[in-house]
Amino acid sequence: MTTIQLSVNGRAIEARIEPRTHLADVLRDQFDLTGTHLGCEHGVCGACTLLLDGAPARSCITLAVTCDGAAVTTIEGLDEDEIAAELRDAFTREHALQCGYCTPGMIMSAHDLVLRLDHADEQAIRVGLSGNLCRCTGYAGIVRAISAVIAARRQRGIAAVVGAGRTSLGPVGSQPGTIPTTASSALPTMTDTKHPRGVALGWLEPPEVVPAKSFDASFTVNAAPEQVFALFGQPKTLAACFPGAAITDLPAPDRIEGEIRVAIGPLSAVFRGSARIDRNAADLSGRLIGTGRDQRSRTSTSGQISWRMLPIDEGRATRVALAIGYSLSGPLAQIARDGLVRDLASRLTTTFAQNCDRHLNGTAGTAETPEPQRLNALALLLDVARNRLTGFARRMRGP
């Protein structure tokens, strides 16, 4: 058993739990806070949403031991909250609830939206509610209710709170005790020496990720390690070398926003997201950490790629050693079988290495940011299948 301490709805509590216990079970079973509903218990439906360190979180898949010292707010903790009171009235007025099972989680997510959205943007509200499912209402009333509350508060001169008042960025619950009680606190900036990885106001960096799958890869480039390392510090050039990738913005020297276009037969997907690049010139290594989402298919991905430049051929060439980790959730995750992903990654790495080699040796095109080619995953999959069938036939024939 493990003892944890939490601040739940402003009250300090202590609980003895097994390490495998989820936060929702602790709140419901030990403290009778049953307003946090359990639905799918897979982090999909959003009925268990609460505020953890001020940010919406799925309590059914959050291990309670990871929340030691964190501030937790459940739907019961919003009884006297001004925003929640306005949301309850708006939900009633706009007929935004029927059976009510999803409503506590909806209110928690809506509370976050009302705090941080500058104006009543329907698209932004729908995106913000995309993790909360309702089988009754059709969502129209819910969106109208939240829009009405945001519009009314902004008309009364109540401004949005940047980042919903959070002073630190990262995984939900990773900064216990740092959430302010006032709305005047600012997020760290690039010049804040206490937060060397802080970002400008309004731009949220991708969180540290724990990939579900990982594997190693490598490729060789006919250039010195220092040259290859320098190339890996040029995001736009690097993206031009990767099939289907494009940079859309560079909000900071080590931050990028971009997209990867994928075509899978008649289906197409555009994964848009952000990433952070860390580099270590001392040992010619680095890593890229990023997240992305295809809005059409509602498929999300996150991952990280670590690299190190190793000299070969007496320093005239470089072997780039890669450690790749990824997670994929949503409809397109059906193609993410381990063997297929590794084969696909091998072919993408080969193409990427060839493009890097051409650029470093002066044989690349003259366009600074060429139009990205769409990554045709179906063609790659067929290539993988053909090679596997060939290998299988060879094994059947024997030596």
Q: Where are the domains of the chain?
A: 2-165, 213-397
Contact 287, 307 (CB under 8 A): yes
Question: Smallest Cα–Cα separation from 112: which of 157, 67, 161?
Answer: 161
For domain 2-165, the CATH class is alpha beta
Give me the DSSP letters along 375-388: EEHHHHHHHHHHHH
Q: Which pLDDT belongs to residue 168?
A: 52
pLDDT the model gives residue 192: 36
Q: How many helices (H) and strands (E) does the chain have?
A: 10, 13
- DSSP conformation class of 136: S
Position 181 scores a pLDDT of 34
Mean pLDDT for each 10-residue chunk of the chain (399 residues)?
90 91 94 94 93 90 90 92 94 93 95 91 90 92 95 91 60 45 34 33 42 80 92 87 85 86 64 88 90 79 88 92 80 60 71 86 53 46 58 63
**What topology is assigned to 213-397 in CATH?**
Alpha-D-Glucose-1,6-Bisphosphate; Chain A, domain 4 (3.30.530)
Q: What is the pLDDT of residue 146?
A: 96
Could you tell me how far CA 25 lies from the centroid of its own chain? 25
User: How much is the pTM?
Assistant: 0.46
173: left (phi over 0), alpha (psi -120 to 50) or beta: left
Beta strands in 40-88 (DSSP E): 49-52, 55-58, 71-73
Whole-number pLDDT of residue 384? 52
For residue 24, what are its two tokens? 């929702």
